[in-house]
Structure formats: structure tokens, C-alpha cells
Amino acid sequence: MSTPARGAASGRQLPHPLPAEIRLEAVLHALADPIRLRIARELADGHVDMACIAFDLPVSKSTSTHHFKVLREAGVIRQHYVGTSRMSRLREEDLEAIFPGLLPAVLEGARRSPEAPDRA
């Protein structure tokens, strides 16, 4: 039948690392990319939960998916489905517990830097 009954509204599950599995190198690597840093900054700036589409990123859909996946697998964001949209949120509390002060420092630094100098 069409409705598989196995999913419900939260049908699709997404793998997230446990706090103990979050690696510093992975977090730093995830945030070292300009686009991912921008995503993190936008998530931090007021918006608690945002759908991927809400970000106006200068890349294709597949690349977007890729960047969100890197952030999620590094433990920087948490994602869950709402309908066909995927909501993203910073794992601020988890990260604060594991690497105190790290995320705030990065985000504050990102706010000061003019986004990116000009890589054209």
C-alpha cells in the first residue's frame, strides 16, 4: 500500500553523534568552511530552528545537503524532519559541555570577520 505505516510524521531518521563521540578535529574542520561557518552563524543569530531552504546559500541543493551533513556528523547541529522539511538547530548545549567556550568564540569571530575577504 502507499502509506507504509512505518514512518509517521518523523519517518526519516538522521544519525547524530553522541556527545562522547564528538571530536574536536571534526568540529573545527566542519566550521573551517566558509559556507558551513555561515550556516552556523545564521543558526546562532536568533533562529532556533531553520529549514535548509531558509538559507540563501550560493550553492546547489546537493552541495547544501552535503554541508548540512558534515555539520551534523561533526556534532555541530541537530536535525529532524517536519514534513518534507528538515529543521536544523545548533547543538549549543552539547558543545558547551564538551568544549566550553569554543562555539561562542567561533561565532563571535565569525561575526567580526567580514564573511569572507573576497575569494574571486
How many CA atoms are closer than 13 Å to the CA of 115, on its beta-carbon side? 7
- 101 touches which of DNA, a copy of itself, none (CB within 5 to 8 A by kind)? a copy of itself
**Among the listed residues 71, 62, 68, the one whose alpha carbon sits nearest the alpha carbon of residue 31:** 71
Q: Which residues bind DNA (CB under 7 A)?
A: 2-4, 7, 9, 11-12, 14, 29, 32-33, 35, 51-53, 58-70, 81, 83-86
List binders of a copy of itself among 53-112 (CB under 8 A): 98-102, 104-106, 108-110, 112
Which residue stretch of 3-11, 28-36, 45-53, 55-63 sits at the interface with a copy of itself (rule: CB under 8 A)?
A: 28-36
Report yes or no: 49 and 88 within 8 Å, Cβ to Cβ.
yes
Compute the distance between CA of residue 53 and CA of residue 75 in angstroms, rounded to an integer. 21
